[in-house]
Amino acid sequence: MRKILLFLVFTSILNVNAQKCFTGKVEDLKKLTTRPLAVVVMPEEGNETIEELKKKISKTKKEKKKKKLQKELDDLIYNIKYFNTTVKEVVPEYWKLNDAQNITYLTKEEIEKLRKEKSTEFAVLNLTPDEVSVSGYNMYYTMSFNLMTYGKSEKKRTKATYRNHLVNTNFNYPKTNFKNKNQKKLIEELEFEKEGKAKVLSKENIIVTLILAQNIIEEALKTGEKISFHKYAENQSDKNKKELVGKKLLIQSAISGSKLYKQFEKYKDRVELVSAKRIADAIINKEDVYIGFPLIKKYVKAKSSFGPVGFVSALTMDHKVVFNPSKGKIISFRNAPSPLNYRSFKRKDIEKLFVAE
């Protein structure tokens, strides 16, 4: 069965959809920087999902099911409050393209109302999840990707001026059954640590996302030309990679590939395996260190068939990035070589990220 599944994966017709950073004009970007910023937040009052869960809980008689629903409700409320609080804390400090003293916080529904009114009042910054649906032979799949958009609220707006997948600094651990017991334990500990709190972006995720996205936008404004993330990251890597000579790379233990973790002794002069908290602290405190993390930049629509049955699925593709929190820039970059390039760091990633010494 495993061989059949592998065969299906490798014989699939893959449509690689590199998500374009810019869908508007550079002139549009310049106009956006002159407007006050409207940041999208999640609704706390009148939230449909919260109300639906409350109704289910009130109607449920089985205690076990009621507890499960209550936990789901508590987690949702926590996530909404955490996201809104964090966004209001981080955006004014890290977003420099617009006036940080003049920020309005609106829900998606309020943004949509502005769009219908043909408003040109705000530049809209959105960090909330976006759903991607794919279909094949009447089979539908929906996946949520966290995206960052920086665009307009006008009625004629069909696409964001800037749109990019968010970075994944540490907490979205790989769902792999590792043979290494120590690594499996690390992943289980991480899962327990972030239980109910991994559905929204963490503070460090938001910080790095804002920095990198803003760097690319500033590059476009400076040159007058739109640049892809891929090209920007490669340019930065060519320019900064030598900084890693004699330096160690911090990688979260739970996202180091099984072989890398098992043979860590061979790489301990180059890599330091650390906790998720250590990564988060380095980013939040703007430390002069080098952090390796996966970055979701594109997804693949994979079409395959098994007899008369067709399948379509959406797979994320992960680049590997080395980032310096103090300097706020990409130091090294490894392009996702294939759709099977997962979030975990492997030995080849380490070799490609470091310059020959």
Contact by Cβ (8 Å): 145, 132: yes
- DSSP type of residue 253: G
What is the per-residue pLDDT across 342-357, written as a single tens digit (0 to 9) for each? 667 888 888 888 875 5
- Of 8-22, 130-144, 294-308, the one with minimum mean pLDDT is 8-22
Residue 164: half-sphere exposure toward Cβ, Cα within 13 Å: 25
Domain locations in the chain? 2-353
Give the C-alpha separation, 212 to 232, whole Å.
Answer: 10
Helices and strands counted in the chain (H then E): 11, 12
Task: Check residue 40 and give its pLDDT.
Answer: 93
What is the per-residue pLDDT across 142-158, written as a single tens digit (0 to 9) for each? 656 677 889 877 776 65
Give the C-alpha separation, 357 to 217, whole Å.
Answer: 33
What is the per-residue pLDDT across 42-55, written as a single tens digit (0 to 9) for each? 887 777 788 888 88
Ranked by mean pLDDT, the top range of 108-117, 260-269, 309-318 is: 108-117
User: What's the predicted TM-score (pTM) here?
Assistant: 0.83
User: Among residues 214, 242, 88, 235, which one has the least CA distance to residue 150?
Assistant: 214
Residue 174: half-sphere exposure toward Cβ, Cα within 13 Å: 24
Tabulate helix, strand, coil % of the chain (nearest 5): 40, 25, 30
Which pair of tokens denotes residue 277? 């908290």
3-state SS assignment for residue 175: coil
Contact by Cβ (8 Å): 132, 316: no
Task: Check residue 351 and give its pLDDT.
Answer: 85
- Average pLDDT (214-237) is 92
Contact by Cβ (8 Å): 196, 190: no
Which pair of tokens denotes residue 188? 């289980």
For the cut 80, the answer to whether the pLDDT of residue 184 exceeds it is no
Q: Helices 203-223 and 63-94, interaxial angle, to 10°?
A: 40
For the cut 50, the answer to whether the pLDDT of residue 22 exceeds it is yes
For the cut 70, the answer to whether the pLDDT of residue 194 exceeds it is no
